[in-house]
Amino acid sequence: MCGIFGMIGANAVGNTLQALKYLEYRGYDSAGVAARVGDEIHIYKSAGRIQNLERLLPKGVESNIAIGHTRWATHGAVSTENAHPFYSPNKHFAVVHNGIIENYLTLKSQLSARGAKFSSQTDSETVAHLLQSNYSGNVLGTVLATANSLVGSFAIAVTSTYDSNLYAIKNKSPLVVGVSGKCVYLCSDIRCVSHWAEKVAVTPDETVVVVGDKGVYFFDFEGKMKEVSFFTTDAAEEMEQVDGDFMLKEIYEVPTKIRLAKEGYFKDGGLNIDSETVRRFTRIYLIGCGTAYNSGLQIAAVARKLIDIDILPVIASEFIYDSYPCGTDTLALFISQSGETADTIRAAEKVRKLGGYTYAVTNTKTSQLSFVCNKVANIYAGGEFAVASTKAYNCQLVTLLLLMLDIARIRQTLDDKVYAEIVDGLDALPMAIEQILSNSYEIATIAEKVKDSSAVFYIGRTCDYPTACEGSLKLKEISYIHSEAYPAGELKHGTLALMEKGVTVVAISTDGELKEKMSSSMNEVATRGADVVSVSPYTFQDALCITLPKVHTALYGIVSVVPLQLLAYYVAKRLGRDVDKPRNLAKSVTVE
């Protein structure tokens, strides 16, 4: 949700543009660059995609200092005037910002009372005005004074004509600093910085960063120097660019990544919580948003059969404001691909405050969420750039399942034989999923029919219901077709009224014992005119059947979602949607 970048070094404008292309997944409402050219700052910005910015940037702008921004609009419409960077009125400062300045209205009215005129509706422009109004002849002092008057979440990069340093202010929004020889980079995403930097540092909250000729320095908001350590980056964390769609590439990576998720889990030592603590737990929460929540929903359905305590999936934004019981007897797993999701981080902070044990399950081990939690498990999905999450979901399921199995073993509610069957069963999944992928043309053919549906309902029972939720979320977010998921038995309590010609029902049915019940649900919707697609190891009359390979019953969720990911992709493609960057969305949702 907004990406910022800044650099000091050769070809600063070219590299900033390149970085913005990498960061575009964080927001694609507008983009802009500010470059120090001689004694001036030149700003180029445009609403819409990076290509629009690229078209208006003059070729070969010579600059050693530049900052850039990709926007996901929060305050102010999608327009060029609301695009970052923002000048201070005297054009001696320019800023880019990711996050929300919560007290911007107060600041704005104070500045307006002193005659300030604003050119945008954003909260971010306030920072540029504040810098000018706080300027005291010393830029670091000015930046510190500004940092102290801001409330909210922010990663801000600042350039000024008063010196040749680059500055940043960081609190609660991600900011990574990278160094390679004489070049220094500031960025929202570690994978982007890894592209250039030999060493990186994750900036802690309430920090001002100064990048200059003599190196990189970190200060707290009082101006006291801080020690922040740099580490060598992992090549696997580099960002990539692909010719086709990231989403399809990422679906095709599922077999490899789930293997890595399993290997990584054991390599990292498994659960890593002492047995006494595990026995003390009386409840487990699985907390996340969107796809991450769905993976919690899925694992809760599986783990309820294996563990003797309450296991509750909860949507993070609900957990924050509701009154779920929580104390030292609570284990809360926070699931987040990015580790940046504001709702999930706030929920983790709440559990910590209440004395619960917090455990991050994330694809970004250097993320804010990881710092908030007691423990971190890496899901090893590798960079995921399509807004619609796919491989991360499958990897979350693997990691969460293994965590649950360890808990069950410690609590002695799972015997060794079942444990071994499930863990060994994981090894069969890559091949099973390869099989589905090799038949993707069948799913593409079904997509051709589904694309004209007036609405698509996804149904399933018990462990298949979470898969229905995830399939439905995938379809609606990238195709814009109205879609809902229901426990199959619930249809007759209201939703059946919506069944008619033109509606499609996708029925997931992996449990042999519930096959007949699912068959009845399919008949009920078909007799009312809906088209039915089944996703199952079994075949059903009067349904277009997507056949699943047979796997261990506890593992179906990891496999049965893959045809649904492909179905959503092909439907969206056939409707001409931008599958990687669906309207109104962004990959990282860093605001509540």
Which stretches of the chain bind ligand AGP, using CB under 6 A?
A: 289-292, 336-338, 341, 344, 387-389, 477, 588-589
Phi, psi of 194 (to 5 degrees): -60, -25
Total Cβ atoms within 10 A of residue 509: 28
Tokens of 592: 């509540």
β-bridge mates for residue 43, sequence order = 34
Using the minimum distance from each CB to ligand AGP, give the nearer residue, 145 or 260: 260
Using the minimum distance from each CB to ligand AGP, give the nearer residue, 135 or 393: 393
- Given a contact cutoff of 8 angstroms between Cβ atoms, the answer to whether 70 and 26 are in contact is yes
Which residue of the set 2, 183, 187, 463 is catalytic? Answer: 2
Q: How far is the CB of 384 from ligand AGP (least distance, A)?
A: 9
Identity of residue 290:
G
Q: Would you call 288 exposed, middle or buried from its count of C-beta atoms within 10 A (0-12, 13-18, 19+)?
A: buried
- Given a contact cutoff of 8 angstroms between Cβ atoms, the answer to whether 390 and 585 are in contact is no
Q: How far is the CB of 333 from ligand AGP (least distance, A)?
A: 13
- Given a contact cutoff of 8 angstroms between Cβ atoms, the answer to whether 106 and 113 are in contact is no
**C-alpha span between 578 and 555 (Å, rounded):** 31
Q: How far is the CB of 67 from ligand AGP (least distance, A)?
A: 25
Reply yes or no on whether 463 is catalytic.
no
Q: How far is the CB of 592 from ligand AGP (least distance, A)?
A: 12
- Given a contact cutoff of 8 angstroms between Cβ atoms, the answer to whether 28 and 78 are in contact is no
- Given a contact cutoff of 8 angstroms between Cβ atoms, the answer to whether 200 and 194 are in contact is yes
Q: Which residue is nearest to ligand AGP (CB)?
A: 290
Using the minimum distance from each CB to ligand AGP, give the nearer residue, 9 or 174: 174
Which residue of the set 45, 262, 474, 587 is catalytic? Answer: 587
Reply yes or no on whether 515 is catalytic.
no
- Given a contact cutoff of 8 angstroms between Cβ atoms, the answer to whether 538 and 508 are in contact is no
Using the minimum distance from each CB to ligand AGP, give the nearer residue, 41 or 388: 388
Using the minimum distance from each CB to ligand AGP, give the nearer residue, 173 or 344: 344
**C-alpha span between 99 and 86 (Å, rounded):** 15
DSSP secondary structure letters along 253-306: THHHHHHHHHHHHHHTTTT---HHHHHH--EEEEEESHHHHHHHHHHHHHHTTT
**C-alpha span between 122 and 80 (Å, rounded):** 12
Q: How far is the CB of 231 from ligand AGP (least distance, A)?
A: 23
Using the minimum distance from each CB to ligand AGP, give the nearer residue, 24 or 125: 24
Q: How far is the CB of 379 from ligand AGP (least distance, A)?
A: 10
- Given a contact cutoff of 8 angstroms between Cβ atoms, the answer to whether 535 and 506 are in contact is yes
By annotation, the residues acting in catalysis are: 2, 587
